[in-house]
Chain A
Amino acid sequence: MTGNFGLALFSAILYAVAIPGYGLSSAYKSPATLGLIYGIIFGDITQGLIIGCSIQLLYLGVVATGNNMPSDQAMAGIIAIPIALSQGLDAQMAVTIAVPFGILGTFFNNMKRSINIWFLHYADRKAEEGNVKEINRCAVLYPWLFMSALQIIPIFIISYLGPTAAQFLIDYLPSWVTGGLSVAGGVLPAIGFALMITQIGRKEILPYFFIAYFMVQYMGLNTMAISVFGVCLALILFFNGSQKKGGEVHE
């Protein structure tokens, strides 16, 4: 069985070319949206969304502080979703495939930030001449073209060979490995949440975490329902907070 040439090329272009746009690329390269895109291509939107969003769960709460990306959700989605859809894998298996590629993707980010040092020094020299045009190119055109050229080939090769390799692995892996990996798939989202708790979870506000956690466990509320309560709670606290400030001024 061979890979799909056109699809692999599409994935490579989708990943490589679409770098600019703060937040915009993180939206259309989020596994949730990628699930929709590949779902349309494979003619199974429902399954695409389910697989994409299962991968999305791994990366909730993962914040790239100081642009130190702990993992690359775009890479995870672009590789794993087409493999899962073409091989008819379930969401758990797709998550397992996504994880290593999510980590591999951070390599590109680090490579980009190393190569950009060269453009930075070039911009330094152009600043001496007051050449704004070239500095502008160092900010957009050069890093963009360079990174696209560098990324497009490896992504293409991985996407092209991926389905065959994945099928081979799935056929020959013992059940405790696949079973164990799907257990891991259930636990991995915990990393993102734990990262957030580490960053903003002072002990004074940690009870709010437990309230929401056990609202889910005991009442079985879904995310949308809890968001409604969460926003109301936040507004109450905000207005109470501002009133207190106002009161202090009058005293």
Chain B
Amino acid sequence: MSERVLTKKDITKSRFRWFITLELPNSFERLQAVSFTYTISAALQKLYKDDKEGLKDALKRHLEFFNTEGTIGSLIVGVVLALEEKKKLEGDVDPEVITNLKLGLMGPIAGIGDSLIQGTIKSIILSLAASFGLQGNIIGGLLPFLFPLTVYFVGRYLAILGYNLGTEAVNKLIGSGLMTNIINVASILGIFMMGALSGSYVKLSTPLEFTIGSSGKSIAVQEVLDSLLPGLLPLLCIFGIVWYFKNKKQNYLLLVISIMIIGMLGSLVGIF
């Protein structure tokens, strides 16, 4: 490996900036462009301390469109720093390569990060917090901090890993069997936990009763449904919404309002 200017501390410092400001300057036009530039700006200054033009070009290069998931995205911070360093020291890196690398990695990494970190890990931590808190247990209020703690250390590790491995190894890692295995298992764990949470927290039942004949014997609809399949109504709700998301426009607001109106109408006529 060639000589290096950036130290481990430069990498972790850059990554810390990424962790702190990621979504703060997010804009509709170029999303995380400014936060990414800020993340590596100190390292760039160190690399280009005697080359003002090179610094300007580098700044402009990183103010281009960028958007990914922050935790796994720390890997990109590490790889880009390695590349910028190589470009300055050996001069054989085309600036296009750096831009293309960022654009190429951000999609797959956002996919992994959103389902693994945001979808699975965050949901599990918050749902554990909720289940403690609903019993009035103080752990429920403290547990959410486990999420930034996890994100902090995982991101820190990945930034250093990305810097040490370099471009080719990271590309290989993203496409490797190990990574496919991790993504696959994470989505299974995620969907499994969603099943558990759905079963525990989606609630719908009906007070409907039918009286048969003149004997006054009444049948509660909910009891019939429970003997058929417990939790049938909530399950129908969930997959009704899944169907809506898959087939119609993903309009969250319209969905929330519809559920509230259906709830009220149902309550008025006595279905719910």
A99/B133 in contact, CB under 8 A: no
Does A119 interact with chain B (Cβ within 8 Å)?
yes
Does B140 interact with chain A (Cβ within 8 Å)?
yes
Per a CB cutoff under 8 Å, which of B22, B136, B184, B238 touches A46? B136
Q: Which residue of A lies closest to B253 (CB)?
A: A103
Residues on the B chain within 8 Å of A215, using CB: 195-196, 199
B184/A241 in contact, CB under 8 A: yes
| Given A46-B136, A136-B41, A213-B199, CB of A63 within 8 Å of CB of B193 | no
Per a CB cutoff under 8 Å, which of B41, B130, B189 touches A56? B130
Does A13 interact with chain B (Cβ within 8 Å)?
no
Residues on the B chain within 8 Å of A33, using CB: 129, 141-142, 144-145
Measured as residues with beta carbon below 8 angstroms from the partner, the interface class of chain A is 35 or more
Query: A129–B178 Cα gap in the complex (Å)?
Result: 45
Does B171 interact with chain A (Cβ within 8 Å)?
no
Per-position contact with A for B41-54: 1 when CB-CB < 8 Å, else 0?
A: 11011000000100
Query: A120–B238 Cα gap in the complex (Å)?
Result: 40
Per a CB cutoff under 8 Å, which of A177, A200, A214 touches B119? A200
Does B147 interact with chain A (Cβ within 8 Å)?
yes
| Given A36-B141, A54-B134, CB of A143 within 8 Å of CB of B194 | no
A61/B123 in contact, CB under 8 A: yes
B204/A237 in contact, CB under 8 A: no
Does B249 interact with chain A (Cβ within 8 Å)?
no
Q: Which residue of A lies closest to B23 (CB)?
A: A67
Residues on the B chain within 8 Å of A170, using CB: none
B147/A27 in contact, CB under 8 A: yes
B199/A212 in contact, CB under 8 A: yes
| Given A140-B24, A187-B202, CB of A213 within 8 Å of CB of B134 | no
- In chain B, positions 1-54 with a C-beta closer than 8 Å to chain A are 18-31, 33-35, 37-38, 41-42, 44-45, 52
Residues on the B chain within 8 Å of A159, using CB: none
| Given A30-B144, A32-B143, CB of A66 within 8 Å of CB of B196 | no
B93-101, B212-220, B263-271: which lies at the A interface?
A: B263-271
Residues on the A chain within 8 Å of B42, using CB: 132
B25/A224 in contact, CB under 8 A: no
- Give the residue among A33, A71, A210 with the most B Cβ atoms within 10 A: A33
A176/B268 in contact, CB under 8 A: yes
Measured between C-beta atoms, what is the minimum distance from A64 to chain B in Å? 7
Residues of A with Cβ closer than 8 Å to B?
19-24, 26-28, 30, 32-33, 35-37, 39, 45-50, 52-54, 56-57, 59-61, 63-67, 70-71, 99, 103, 112-114, 116-117, 119-120, 123-124, 127-130, 132, 135-136, 138-140, 142-144, 176-177, 179-184, 186-191, 193-202, 205-206, 208-218, 221-224, 226-227, 230-231, 233-234, 237-238, 241-242, 245
Residues of B with Cβ closer than 8 Å to A?
18-31, 33-35, 37-38, 41-42, 44-45, 52, 55-56, 59-60, 63, 67, 70-71, 110, 114-115, 118-119, 122-124, 126-134, 136-138, 140-148, 151-152, 177-178, 181-182, 184-204, 230-231, 234-235, 237-239, 241-242, 244-246, 252-253, 255-256, 259-260, 262-268, 272
